[in-house]
Structure formats: C-alpha cells, structure tokens
Amino acid sequence: MSEEKRNEAPKMRTTISKKALFSILLIAFVLGFTAIVIGYNVYSNTMDNHYRENTMNIANTISALVDRETVEKYGKLILSKYRETTQEERDHQEEESYRSHFEGIEESEDYQEIRTLLTKIKEQNGVTYAYIMVIDKANQVCIYIADGDVSEDTYCAPGVWETIEDDQADSLLGGNKAIIPQADFGWLASGGSPIYVAEDGTFASSIIDISMDDVMLDRRMFLLDYCIILLLVVAVLSIIMTWAMRRQVVFPLNKLAKAAINYSNDRSHHEKDHAKMVQHFANLNIHTGDEIENLSYVMSDMETQLAGYIENLTRVTAEKERIGAELNIATQIQANMLPRIFPAFPDRKDFDIYATMHPAKEVGGDFYDYFLIDDDHLGLVMADVSGKGVPAALFMVIAKTLIKNRAQMGGTPAEILGYVNNQLCDGNEADLFVTVWLAIVELSTGKGVSCNAGHEHPVLCRNNGKYELIVYRHSPAVATFEGLRFREREFQLYPGDKLFVYTDGVPEATNSQGEFFGSERMLMALNENPDASPQKLLQTVRGDLNAFVGSAPQFDDITMLCMVYKGPVETPLSLTVEASVDNLPKVLEFLDAHLESLDCPIKAQMQLDVAIEELFVNIAHYAYKPGTGNATIQLEKKTSPETDIVITLIDSGMAFNPLEKADPDVSLSAEERQIGGLGIYMAKKTMDSMTYERRDNKNILQVSKKLF
C-alpha cells in the first residue's frame, strides 16, 4: 500500500453516530407506536363500552315504560296491514297507494302516548333516534310501529319497512348491543330491547341510536396529541443519546483509529528497524470505564506482540520464498526429465504416442517414459512411487534413470525390473517403493512383453473396437524387498490397436461426496471416441475427470499414456500400364511374382488371378471408352487377423462402382441368365473383402485376401 493511501482516513459510508441515532429513532418509533396502539385501543374500548351500556339502559327503559299490550296491538295491526299490501306497493312504500293501508293509526290516542314517550326519552337523554319496530324474522323484514322523531325529514311513519338479516333479528330479540358505523347517519351506538314475542315468532323491540360522531372526533384528537408528544420525546432522546454516544464511543474510537493509522505509517517508515517504532496505543489516555477502555489496553498489548510477530513473519516469509523458488526449480527439473515433446518420434510412422503428468503437489512421485531400445523395439514405462512431495520425487528420479539405463542395455522386462529392484532396495531407509508397468514392443511384428509390478491394469483397444481392461496377476511392487522375481506376459498388437496405461490417480480421483472416479467411468471416457488420437483421448479423459471431481482438491498425481500401434510401414509394390486387354499378361505376371515370394498357396493364387483379371478387363473395356488411359495395380502385405494381402486397382476413367451391380441368379441355367456380372460376382465370392471409393476423380477398388 502506498504512503498516500496509508495517510488517508478510511472512508465511512455511515458513522457510528448516525447508526446510533437511527437505532434510537427506530426503537423510539416502535415503542411509541406500540404505546399509541395500546392507549388508543384502551381509550376506544372504554368509550365504546360506555355508549353500549348507555344505549342498552335507555332501550330497556323504553321497553319497561311502554304499554306492552298497546305495542302488541299496533304491532300485529301494522304487520297484518303490511302483509295485505302487494309487492309492487311495498317497492313504492313512499307513495299514497302504500300509505293508505296504515291511515288512521297515528290519530289514535294510545298510539300518540307511545310516540310522546319516545320523544320525551329521546330529548331528555340526548338520543339521536328512538323508535319501536315489529320484526318478522321469517320474511326478514322489520316495520316501524312508532318513531319518536319530530322532524319531517327523518320521521318514519307506521308501516315503513326495511329488510333485515337473521343475525340482526337475533340481536334485537336477544338484547345484544354493538357500535355500528352508518354511512348515511354517521357513527351510531345502536341497541335494542324486546317488548313482546308473538306466537308466530314475530316480535317487537324498542331501538335506540346514539350519535358517536363527537366521540370519534375525540379519538382522532387523542391520536394526534399522542403522536405530537411522541415526536417531541423522540427528538429530545435523540439529541441526548447522540451527544452521549459521541462522547463515550465515537471520540474514543476515533482516537483508536488515528493511533492505528499512525502505527501503520510508522511501521512503513521503520520496516527494517522495529526497535524505533513508538508505542502508539499506550499513550491514548482513554478512560471511559467500559469495553472501549479495555480495547485500548488490548490494542496496546497487541501492538507490542505484533511488532515481534511481523519481525518473525518477515524471516519466515523470506525462508518460504526461498523454499518456493527451489521447489519451482525442482518442478521444472522433474518436468524436464519426462519426455514432453510431441510427436515423440516424428520420423516414425509405425506408432504414435502421447502422455501427461499432473502432480498433486509441486513435485510428484508418478512418472512415465518411452524410448527406443533399438530401431525395432520400443520401451514403455508407467510408474507410481509411494508417498508424495520431495521424497517421492527424488525416489522417482532414481527409479526412472535405473529403468531406462538398464532397458537400453538389453534384456526382458522381468530382468530389467529385477536389477532395478535390487538397486533401489540398497539403502532404502525410507521404505519407499514404486509400482511399475514396463513393456517392450517389437515394432515390426507388434509382439510385446510386459511386466506389471503392482501397478494398475492396462487398457487395450483393438482396431475398430472398444477399450477394455486387461486383468491378470501382478508381481509385487519394485523395492519392497531384495531378490524379487517378476512375472512376464506376452501380448500381440495389430495395426490400429491402442494401449492406455495410467496411475492410480485416475480411478481414485475423488469428488466432494467422497466418491471415486473408478475404472468404469474411466472406460466410459475412453470409449466416448475410441478412434481419437492419443492426445485427444487423454484430453477427453482429463476433461471427464475434472467434471467429476469439481471443486474437490487433487490428492494424488494424475499420469496417463496412450500408444497407438500402426504396424510396419511398407512401400506397396506398384505397376502402371495402359488399360488394355493386351496388358493383362503383364499384370498377372506382376501379381504372381509377388505372390510366389510370399509362398502363397496355389488355391489362393488362382483365386486372386481370376479376380484381378476380371476387374482389370472391366477397366480396359469400360473405364475410358471410347478413349484410353492408364490403370495402376498396387500390392501391399498386411499383418492382421483378417487379411494378409491387399490389392488396389486405380483408374481415372468414368465413375463406376462394380459393387453396386446386382449379383446374377446362379440358380438359373446359362441360357436363362442375363449376360454379364458373373466375373465380378465370382471375385466378390472368392475375396475376403472388397471396397470401392471415388476420390480425386479416380476409381479406387480394393480387394483383401487371407492367404494362410
């Protein structure tokens, strides 16, 4: 960090004072809001209960004072007259046709006594509305009997009706009380007290409505006053707490921060001389009597300890850098010991090889090697030293050197490993050992001899086949004890076969769930594209392995080698002549001379002569018609289980695939069969395989035959 950056005070998005103030405001708001809710609910419930009780007392008083028989008389009369009206009249209850049914009721003396009582109680008790209604619960209707209101605008004459729900009827009958908000008449405390209940279930109740508009206004004023007081209290508390916070917390912490910056600057100026550094935290004189004062003492002690720690860390870091540099050199040396240039033998066309090694640490114990013992013998080595790190790497260097030097002196794999085993056992006080797979392949024939000293099973892929494990009994690992005798195993490679060897870091690679990659997944990766080149093949396996392991650490070295055997490279014998029937004897002479040099059986030679004669005559007759051109005959010896010799006929005539021509029906007589096609049919029957392709404007027809 630069000195300019050290001198800068750290940028703070939000100070402690602001955080404390915000916390205080939040707490005060929550507490105040809670107090408001509780106080408002207590006040509201008290007022509501008072009005409920007052409403019910007045309703009960009316029910007690009114003449029950008179109310019942008019209640039944009004209900019967209501039932006499039609639905159309009821829907227009303000019109004369409906009102005419109830004429004469209001003029009765006893009816006026009921109204007078209602009016008197309404005026004396500050009641908003006082009235008596008859309720027909079955038809969900309530009808005014008498109304104590004297205003023409709000007076309800007998017979005026309203619909009612069952629960409302039950409330009026049972004497319940409730505060009901009325959209048309404001907030009202309504209560009803039953006067009589008829046999048919109808009943009459006195009903009282008391206005609560003033009460609701008082509630709002109460809430407003409460909020204003809360804001004042929060403001005062915020000022006091902020001042206390700055004095007791912010100022001491700023002192500590400034001391820390000064310490950092002083350390940068005296990095090499820690004795000159000043005790920054010891002279702060913070006496808050709380945790901040303790923090200043702790930081003073920490400063002293940190100075010694930094001095020790400087020495340790320098030593670690020195060791790291040496390990890097060791890693490079080990990597350089393994052959890494590909293609490994660019001049050799009879095999191809590719290998990789990824150590788990800076240096590893795995190693591979490949080398020509002579021009016709290739040595292949895959090995894994027990242990990890530098000891395994040193043992690996010795083992690799011994194996290669002894192999180049000659001998079988068992003899080579026997010699190396005895050499490594001498002075092996660390008890290290190495598993080795060693093979020597004769490139001219594909014959090989291998020796497996405790190593993983090799994998073989036959040409156009799939990779499979080759499982057989192993010998003990090299350097376990002196005098070991190792088993050998012979094998045969054919052109196109591939050999894959590896260390246990591949099947034992572990993911985060503790699962092994395993041999099955390894074979699946190999068989994703078994015809791929050795380099592509190893990249595929490594990619699948990485995807399986994921973020889990690599615990073991991962080493792989793949060799594809292409077989001995021979220049095919070739003869080019004019595509004319006159040159047929020359072609057959060329063919027979080569077949005789191979000790070809007479039967096979005659079959080849007939087939080539037919195919050459076809070219002479039809390829260049009506012109002329050349035809080339190539002979190539093969060493594989399927064929011994391949003969290729090449011409530049018109495109023609004789294999597409339908086979003649040989079950017919000569007179019945169509002319032509018999010669090609005989060639296909006597040859082991025939292929055709059109490439570079040339017809290329190839026949293969097993001679023995």
Q: What is the pLDDT of residue 180?
A: 52
Q: pLDDT tier at 6 (50, 70, 90 boundaries)?
A: very low
Mean pLDDT calculated for residue range 393-408: 90
Q: How many CB atoms lie within 10 A of CB 190?
A: 24
More confident residue, 534 or 250: 534
Nearest Cα to 111, choosing from 142, 85, 73?
A: 73
**Residue 219 CB burial class (10 angstroms; 0-12, 13-18, ≥19):** middle
Q: Which residues contact 477 (CB under 8 A, 6 or more apart)?
A: 386, 433, 434, 435, 436, 453, 454, 455
CA–CA dist 256, 250 (Å, integer): 10
CA–CA dist 236, 221 (Å, integer): 23
**Residues above pLDDT 90, as percent of the chain:** 29
Q: What is the pLDDT of residue 236?
A: 81
Task: Give the residue range(s) of CATH 3.30.565.10 domains in the chain.
Answer: 573-705
Q: Which of 79-83, 256-260, 324-328, 505-509 has the lowest mean pLDDT?
A: 324-328
Q: Mapping DSSP to helix (H, G, I), strand (E, B) and coil, where does residue 371 land?
A: strand
Q: What is the pLDDT of residue 2?
A: 45
pLDDT at 183 over 50: no
Q: Mapping DSSP to helix (H, G, I), strand (E, B) and coil, where does residue 415 land?
A: helix
Q: Which of 152-166, 543-557, 638-652 has the lowest mean pLDDT?
A: 638-652
Nearest Cα to 480, choosing from 526, 437, 434, 436?
A: 434
Q: What is the pLDDT of residues 409-437, one digit of tens each?
A: 999 999 999 999 999 998 888 889 999 99
Q: pLDDT tier at 9 (50, 70, 90 boundaries)?
A: very low
CA–CA dist 595, 611 (Å, integer): 14
pLDDT at 629 over 60: yes
CA–CA dist 401, 562 (Å, integer): 21
Q: Which residues contact 457 (CB under 8 A, 6 or more apart)?
A: 469, 470, 471, 472, 519
Q: pLDDT tier at 374 (50, 70, 90 boundaries)?
A: very high
More confident residue, 482 or 294: 482
More confident residue, 476 or 429: 476
* Torsion angle of C-alpha atoms 460, 462, 463, 464, degrees rounded to 10: -100
Q: What would the two tokens of residue 376 be? A: 């016709």
pLDDT at 394 over 90: no
Task: Give the residue range(s) of CATH 3.30.450.20 domains in the chain.
Answer: 33-218
Q: What is the pLDDT of residues 132-159, one digit of tens each?
A: 999 988 888 999 999 988 887 888 889 8
Mean pLDDT calculated for residue range 353-357: 93
**Residue 451: alpha-carbon gap to chain centroid:** 45
Average pLDDT, the chain: 82
Mean pLDDT calculated for residue range 65-80: 90
CA–CA dist 523, 500 (Å, integer): 10
Q: What is the pLDDT of residue 283?
A: 62
Q: pLDDT tier at 314 (50, 70, 90 boundaries)?
A: low
- Whose tokens are 């008790």? That residue is 125
More confident residue, 599 or 215: 599
Evaluate if pTM is beyond 0.95.
Answer: no
pLDDT at 616 over 70: yes
pLDDT at 686 over 50: yes
pLDDT at 308 over 80: no
Cα–Cα distances in angstroms (integers) from residue 638 to residues 1, 463, 497, 632, 643, in the given order: 72, 14, 14, 19, 6
Task: Give the residue range(s) of CATH 3.60.40.10 domains in the chain.
Answer: 338-565
Q: What is the pLDDT of residues 163-181, one digit of tens each?
A: 888 777 777 776 555 555 5
More confident residue, 584 or 337: 584
Q: pLDDT tier at 325 (50, 70, 90 boundaries)?
A: low
CATH class belonging to 573-705: alpha beta
Q: What is the pLDDT of residue 622?
A: 87
Alpha helices (H) in 638-699, listed in sequence order: 678-686
Q: What is the pLDDT of residue 416?
A: 95
Residue 500, phi then psi, degrees to nearest 5: -125, 120
Q: Which residues contact 177 (CB under 8 A, 6 or more apart)?
A: 52, 53, 55, 56, 189, 190, 191
144-177 residues labelled b (16+ CB within 10 A) or e (exposed): bbbbbbeeeeeebebbbbeebeeebbebbbeeeb
Q: Which of 284-288, 311-315, 499-503, 614-618 has the lowest mean pLDDT?
A: 284-288
Q: What would the two tokens of residue 35 be? A: 């107090």
pLDDT at 281 over 80: no
CATH class belonging to 33-218: alpha beta
Q: What is the pLDDT of residues 233-247, one digit of tens each?
A: 877 877 787 777 777
* Residue 387: HSE in the Cβ half-sphere, 13 Å Cα cutoff: 13
Element (H, E) at 3: helix 3-7
Q: Mapping DSSP to helix (H, G, I), strand (E, B) and coil, where does residue 350 land?
A: coil
Domain 338-565: homologous superfamily in CATH: PPM-type phosphatase domain (3.60.40.10)
Q: Is 555 in contact with 512 (CB distance < 8 Å)?
A: no
pLDDT at 319 over 70: no
pLDDT at 315 over 90: no
